[in-house]
A and B are shown apart, each in its own frame.
Chain A
Amino acid sequence: MRITPDFFVILSVILFTIGLIGVLIRRNLIIIFMFIELMLNAVNLSFIAYSYKLGQVDGQIYVFFVMVLAAVEVAVGLGLIMLIYRNKKTLDVDDINIMKN
């Protein structure tokens, strides 16, 4: 069995779905954050796969963008999580609901 780019696409879909479900069902903010990273990387994988399949370099460029964005997001997101924890003494997202209505 030859490994084709389609495998990577399927893998990326599986990873993305896991990430999405994880974001939806977990309550700890750091875990949610990690699942988001997983989703981003799943998307990266599919970009690479299609880039290879179509023989175009565009997808790889997008991946670099996403990586940079992810790094920035981690920096800001972790900072926010730190502040939330200091103020609320919890990271349960269901308890962080002061912005409702």
Chain B
Amino acid sequence: MKTLLIFIPILPLAGFLLNGIFGRSFPKKLVHRIAIGTTGISFLLVVITFFKFLSLHTESIVINYFTWIKAGDFVANFGFLLDPLSMVMLLVVSGVGFLIHIYSIGYMWNDIGYNRFFAYLNLFMFSMLVLVLANNYLLLFVGWEGVGLCSYLLIGFYFHKKSASDAGKKAFIVNRIGDFGFVVGLMLMFFTFRSLDFNTIFTSIVKKGYGVESGWGVLTVIAVLLFIGATGKSAQIPLYVWLPDAMEGPTPVSALIHAATMVTAGVYMITRSNAIYSRAPHALFIVGLIGSLTALYAATIGIFQRDIKRVLAYSTVSQLGYMFTALGVMAFSAGIFHLMTHAFFKALLFLGSGSVILALHHEQDMQNMGGLKKYLPITCLSMWAATLAISGIPIFAGFFSKDEILWRSKIDPVKGHMIFYILGTVAALITALYMFRLMFLTFHGKSRMSEEKLSHVHESPKSMTSVLIILAILSTIGGFVGMPGWTGFPNVFEKFLDPVFRFMPQKVVSHLHHVVESQPAGKELLVTLISIVVAGLGVLIAYIIYIKKEALPKDEEKLGFIYKLIYNKYYVDEIYNFFVIQPIKWFSTNVLWKIVDVAVIDGIVNGYAYLTEGLSTVVARIQNGFIRSYIGWIVLGGIGILYYIILNFIR
């Protein structure tokens, strides 16, 4: 197990090094063979590990490779933790990552930076696998920053475009704000527990008898600080602004990093820290509130976006909001379940949109699409599977996971009121609306392209469509591992994850069980029916507007003020610019530059220079070139020394 596990992240790293250093001179075929070979074997190893883990019947396996940092009583190991949670994450990350690597062959084939792209992608796989495998917060943070770096590199992949390099910088800087909170959280955690190791911290929480905190105890503060880190990485209010801009990167990157894996790191991290969060109801409430607000807020922005990828970007933000809502009501396994299904259907949506974009020669505006069903049948069909999944249509994967979240937020055991549920349900309606709008505008209705252009449109190569098909199957049946109680099937997923939550306080666990069990039998079914009706309503509205009335994006402009407000994303970027960026700029220019740098720092440095110069001019006068005066000074000095010696001698 020890050697098996280390090879899972090491292989993509080897691929990165090979392609990164020598890739320029490799033929394209060798480049993708290295990249896909390493991630493929890594995925295979994950599958082997999975079956081995199942056969072992253990709660978790901790493997320490070596001591990484040691300073005083601070010790950080380079070690891995394998438990059901990291197992699920490993499968999702390496599986989806592997598929997207294959897809990238077709998508990136005509790109100049072919080897650079695959090198970055492999580096990302390495960082993400370290993130999910780490057995302490510091190593997790290494992966956390590593994926941030890869995200930056890949968003700015077309660095000759100013908008792309700007978007890369924006992502990096916004994440830095979140990371600040995260790092402070880590420090506070080390200060409290004298360790950053997962198991050490969680067992010491249990042993020292930390109860559920009613106010703002140390656990609550740690939880909130960690959540600030999560809002950055997982694009929640108020730090979500980087994610829509991240769509400047190549589409496979949007699918892998900015939809399926990296952005879910925050969800993973909070689930991993469930021992802390379950004792901090205030922090949980913040998590849930931010999550559900983000779910609704981002969904509304999605309605009027024209760029196909931007719709999906806001949809990602919104779906991440759902996951945080689940965490906020301590339905951790439901959150991870949605993470998994979301990885399938959102990766599929992005890859499908990438297929459309490639077919239309980098046209992303839905105003110029329409009627593509005939030309891109496989893309259309697979994207329909994903759309049904994300909209919560029964049987498809997203239905089970989203429904689980809505149900658990309805019976919210933390605060006991309905706000999360209502926000989530409204968001579900809007989700169905904007997703069906996207599909109708892209694939159905009349084509809005010129005949000449349309004749060039053709379905993507097999390497791409086969990935779409696999993901479509997963989006369709992926939900069956977590069937809700009323179906009578066991919830395999929840049971599998159960050992992860063994550090939660007994009182909370039994309370949770009590809340879930004590609900009347038909109530969950009722909630499910409501969400089906709501989703259906969204579909109906979309159908009426975009199929019956044949409305186009430019017709939406007639809505006037509301359209403008939403199309411009509630002017949040502008607000941030005015209230955050401009003051910082002003402060930097007028205070940091003109006062601190020019006056204080330069003043000190120049002051020393002036002082030296002044002293030297005085001293230089002695050196007047008259030898006799020099001799005079020597004599004076000699007399001085003599005087001193005699004085001492007399004494």
Q: Which residue of B lies closest to A20 (CB)?
A: B635
Contact residue range for chain A? 10 to 19
Residues of chain A from 1 to 27 with CB closer than 8 A to chain B in the complex: 20, 23-25, 27
B628→A27 contact, CB < 8 A: yes
CA distance A23 to B633 in the complex (A): 12
CA distance A32 to B630 in the complex (A): 13
**Residue interface bits B369-397, CB-to-A below 8 A is 1, else 0:** 00000000000000000000000000000
B620→A101 contact, CB < 8 A: yes
When the two chains form the complex, which single residue of A20, A25, A32, A97 contacts B626, counting CB atoms closer than 8 Å?
Answer: A97
Residues of B within 8 A of A24 (CB): 628, 631-632, 635
CA distance A100 to B619 in the complex (A): 12
Question: What's the dominant secondary structure at chain A's contact region?
Answer: loop
When the two chains form the complex, which single residue of B624, B631, B635 contacts A97, counting CB atoms closer than 8 Å?
Answer: B624
Q: Which residue of B lies closest to A101 (CB)?
A: B620
**Residue interface bits A62-101, CB-to-B below 8 A is 1, else 0:** 0000000000000000000000000000000110111111
* Total contacts A-B at CB 8 Å: 32
A93→B624 contact, CB < 8 A: no
Question: What's the dominant secondary structure at chain B's contact region?
Answer: helix
A100→B628 contact, CB < 8 A: no
Residues of B within 8 A of A100 (CB): 623-626
Residues of B within 8 A of A99 (CB): 623, 625
A93→B632 contact, CB < 8 A: no
Residues of B within 8 A of A23 (CB): 628, 631
Q: Which residue of B lies closest to A21 (CB)?
A: B635
B623→A101 contact, CB < 8 A: yes
CA distance A25 to B627 in the complex (A): 11
Q: Tell me the minimal C-beta distance from A67 to chain B in angstroms.
A: 22
Residues of chain B from 611 to 642 with CB closer than 8 A to chain A in the complex: 620, 623-628, 631-632, 635
Residues of chain A from 35 to 75 with CB closer than 8 A to chain B in the complex: none
When the two chains form the complex, which single residue of A25, A27, A98 contacts B625, counting CB atoms closer than 8 Å?
Answer: A98
A93→B627 contact, CB < 8 A: yes
Which of A20, A98, A100 has the largest number of chain B CB atoms within 10 A?
A: A100
Residues of B within 8 A of A32 (CB): 627
**Residue interface bits B181-195, CB-to-A below 8 A is 1, else 0:** 000000000000000
Q: Tell me the minimal C-beta distance from A45 to chain B in angstroms.
A: 18
29 A-B contacts, Cβ less than 8 Å apart? A23-B628, A23-B631, A24-B628, A24-B631, A24-B632, A24-B635, A25-B628, A27-B628, A32-B627, A93-B626, A93-B628, A94-B628, A96-B625, A96-B627, A97-B624, A97-B625, A97-B626, A97-B627, A98-B625, A99-B623, A99-B625, A100-B623, A100-B624, A100-B625, A100-B626, A101-B620, A101-B623, A101-B624, A101-B625
Q: Which residues of A contact B (CB under 8 A)?
A: 20, 23-25, 27, 32, 93-94, 96-101
4 cross-chain pairs, A with B, having the tightest CB-CB distances, nearest first: A100-B625, A97-B625, A93-B627, A101-B620
Supply 17 further A-B pairs (C-beta < 8 A) apart from A96-B627, A101-B623: A24-B628, A24-B635, A25-B628, A27-B628, A93-B626, A94-B626, A94-B628, A96-B625, A97-B624, A97-B627, A98-B625, A99-B623, A100-B623, A100-B625, A100-B626, A101-B620, A101-B625
